[in-house]
Structure 1
Amino acid sequence: MAAFTRFPVALIAAAGMMAVVAAPAAAITSYPTNVVAEYVYACMKANGENRSSLDQCSCSIDVIESIVPYERYEAASTFRAMGLVPGENGALFRESAPAKAAIGELRRAQAEADVRCF
């Protein structure tokens, strides 16, 4: 009976150790998968739909992710998308100081990604 009670404890301990080992792997990426996929898809559309561009575009989003936290990436992407709205409605998203700062940070990260990956 004593051996039986030790087995679940050992199993629980092993599962706990696996969770600790697996936790950093989950923490490696902070961008949601759909955001990464969308970026890679758009990048490949712009740079060619082949294996080489897949590798380069995947590298590019990894570099951007290492420089720009997701919250700021999301803000910059929103400013950029909303800035495409013509007229006064899009002016706030094109001309405000927060918009310019966020978009500038993203452009610098993309330039670094271009240097490293392309």
Structure 2
Amino acid sequence: MKARALIAAASAALIPALIPALVQAESVAERLNDYPTAARADYVFACMVTNGQTREMLDRCSCSIDEIASILSYEDYLAAETVLSMRRVGGERMSFFQNAAMAENIVADLRRAQAEAEVICF
């Protein structure tokens, strides 16, 4: 009977202590999987076009987007991709995306994540 009471007391003390760790682990897992499959596939396809369409490049490009996803939220990734896309359009209206410090910071974060992914995966 004492063993059951001891187990119950230990469980009562341990479970509340584990809840924050479980919630944090869940939020990290959600953050790592917040990229839609189509966005990951687009990145991998573009990466493979640039680096070669081999099985090895499939693995490396997949690793690369996984690393980027571990560094940047999908919202930040999407913002950086939008800025880069708008820079390609050109014109007077798009000059904001060329010169604004905010746009530069957004793209710089993506470039840092890509550089880290390149070191790890390539």
TM-score when normalising by structure 1: 0.76
2:108 is equivalent to residue 104 of structure 1: yes
> Which of the numbers 70, 78, 83 marks the counterpart of 1:66?
70
Q: Which runs of 4+ in 1 moved over 6 A?
A: none
- Work out the CA distance in 1 between the residues paired with 2:93 and 2:57: 35
- Correspondence for 1:90: 94
2:54 is equivalent to residue 50 of structure 1: yes
Matches within 5 A, 1:8-47: 27=30, 28-47=32-51
- Work out the CA distance in 2 between the residues paired with 1:90 and 1:48: 32
TM-score when normalising by structure 2: 0.73
SS in 1 for 2:88: coil
Tell me the percent identity: 51
Cα drift, residue 91 of structure 1: 1.2
Cα drift, residue 90 of structure 1: 2.2
**Which consecutive residues of structure 2, in runs of 5 or more, have no partner in the other structure?**
1-25
Cα drift, residue 43 of structure 1: 0.2
Q: Deviations over 1:37-85 (max 9, x none)?
A: 0000000000000000000000000000000011110000000000111
**Which consecutive residues of structure 1, in runs of 5 or more, have no partner in the other structure?**
1-23
SS in 1 for 2:69: helix
Q: Which letter does structure 1 place at the counterpart of 2:54?
A: N
Query: Number of residue pairs matched?
Result: 94
- Work out the CA distance in 1 between the residues paired with 2:51 and 2:93: 31
Q: Which letter does structure 1 place at the counterpart of 2:35?
A: Y
- Work out the CA distance in 1 between the residues paired with 2:98 and 2:57: 30
- Correspondence for 2:19: none
SS in 2 for 1:83: helix
Q: Deviations over 1:2-35 (max 9, x none)?
A: xxxxxxxxxxxxxxxxxxxxxx5x7341101110
